[in-house]
């Protein structure tokens, strides 16, 4: 089976399917649950205020789990249904791993980006994009993508913020696929990547400034970055994703080989 055919078959498992829409809706609902924590401040707030306030909210873990669950556990599902052996008879180990890494990443990237951006755009119905006259607005223009804020390119600013979140979801989803080849319990497969994300983002940075600089949320939460150049933020984010996906794919290929599949 050609690689293109494998990629196409995997795309049909999630894109446009009910589980994709359910995950997007679930992310919007979770984001509004976050917003409900400070409902009394909404009349005096802006979209920028709300987005910045919830960049590190614990509820974000639920969004990661929803986006990763769509394709991250595909290996577990295929082993349970017996479809995995069907794939191994019709494609090579390399084609299988490439397809799974790509779709676990891009499915979560699309779902988390779409869900976050829909939530942000929907807030515009009852609050302004930003309050340029406030000191907070001017302090944000010195952070990542500040040039877009100054130019009042709010739509692009918040889309790229959502894209950064989507990249985190894609990485966690791809890591879920890798861990699914090592652990047999499906619940543990879903929990372990989230636990590792928690360690990377919250636990280790509290002990070392170096860990703080390299935590995923610091790299992909563009609006909090000390790097002001939008292009540089995107290039760095894309580079980190490429390196991590290569590592996950290489290890997955090796593990599958260790399990006796050529």
Tens digit of pLDDT for each residue in 198-239?
888 877 666 666 666 678 888 899 988 888 889 999 999 999
Tens digit of pLDDT for each residue in 24-61?
999 999 998 888 776 667 777 889 988 888 877 777 88
User: What total of structural domains would you count in the chain?
Assistant: 1
What pLDDT is attached to residue 170? Answer: 96
What is the distance between the alpha carbons of residues 4 and 207, in angstroms, rounded to a whole number?
45
pLDDT at 179 > cutoff 60: yes
Burial pattern 50-88, b for ≥16 Cβ within 10 A else e, equals bbbebeebeebbbbbbbbbbbbbbbbbebeeeeebeebb
Judge contact between 3 and 87, C-beta under 8 A.
no
Does 153 or 40 have the greater pLDDT score? 153
The runs of H, that is alpha helices, within the chain are 3-11, 18-35, 47-53, 60-69, 74-81, 83-90, 93-123, 135-140, 146-150, 154-180, 186-198, 209-213, 216-220, 230-258
Domain assignment of residue 123, given as a range: 3-258
What is the distance between the alpha carbons of residues 88 and 233, in angstroms, rounded to a whole number?
39
Segment 133-150 mean pLDDT: 87
What are the CA-CA distances from residue 191 to residues 23, 127, 154, 164, 197 (Å)?
Answer: 17, 36, 35, 22, 10
């Amino acid at each position: 089976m050609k690689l293109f055919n494998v990629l196409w078959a995997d795309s049909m498992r999630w894109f446009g399917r009910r589980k994709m829409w359910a995950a997007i809706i679930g992310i919007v609902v979770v984001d509004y649950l976050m917003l409900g924590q400070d409902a009394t401040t909404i009349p005096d707030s802006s979209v920028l205020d709300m987005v910045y306030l919830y960049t590190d909210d614990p509820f974000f873990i639920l969004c990661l789990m929803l986006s990763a669950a769509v394709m991250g556990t595909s290996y577990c599902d295929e082993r349970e249904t017996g479809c995995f052996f069907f794939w191994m008879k019709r494609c090579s180990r390399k084609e299988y791993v490439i397809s799974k890494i790509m779709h676990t990443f891009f499915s979560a990237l699309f779902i988390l980006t779409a869900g976050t951006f829909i939530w942000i755009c929907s807030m515009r119905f009852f609050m302004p994009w930003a309050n340029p006259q406030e000191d907070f607005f001017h302090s944000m223009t010195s952070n990542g993508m500040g040039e877009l804020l100054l130019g009042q390119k709010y739509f692009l600013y918040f889309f790229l913020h959502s894209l950064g979140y989507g990249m985190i979801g894609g990485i966690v989803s791809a890591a879920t696929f890798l861990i699914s080849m090592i652990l047999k319990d499906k619940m543990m497969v879903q929990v372990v990547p989230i636990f590792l994300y928690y360690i990377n983002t919250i636990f280790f940075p509290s002990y070392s400034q170096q860990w703080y600089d390299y935590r995923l949320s610091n790299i992909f939460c563009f609006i909090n970055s000390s790097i002001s150049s939008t292009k540089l933020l995107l290039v760095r984010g894309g580079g980190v994703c490429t390196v991590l996906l290569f590592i996950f794919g290489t290890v997955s290929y090796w593990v599958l080989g260790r399990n006796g599949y050529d």
